[in-house]
Structure 1
């Protein structure tokens, strides 16, 4: 079981008495899931993630080309993102 490997615990085992639990239902309805998440105080929106970046080799080639053309250019300086991205997984 992948969850058991990731969390080093059996997901269908009670953490208090260690007895075996069983799945009684799967919830597929988005409205029901939203109500449950609202009730337990969790966000119903997925976390925002940062946009993908290009391969490092392209960035290095572009930086070298720009550095040749502009002696004042600082290759280590990056502008701050416009939006704060939360990449934590909270489930």
Structure 2
């Protein structure tokens, strides 16, 4: 995976962790709002910094609900603007039979 991307799997926790390896390379986004883009729509989501692992927080629930994300879905975040911290987000949905 490239340095400007990270992935996470939606789980039952309220706010998902952002991989530490990604955040160590992009410390400027700690505690700030980032923009998540899916097609033409975008959401502002805060990166909440914790020494043990940072999370996507304020705005995540709205993003998750509007994108109809379910537990087990994988999200791929590609950093497309390093100055404004804009991410293009794509999904791999889990299909339950």
> TM-score, normalising length from structure 2?
0.21
Structure with greater helix share of residues: 1
Larger Rg: 1
Structure with greater strand share of residues: 2
> TM-score, normalising length from structure 1?
0.22
Query: RCO higher in 1 or 2 (8 Å CA, sep ≥ 6)?
Result: 2
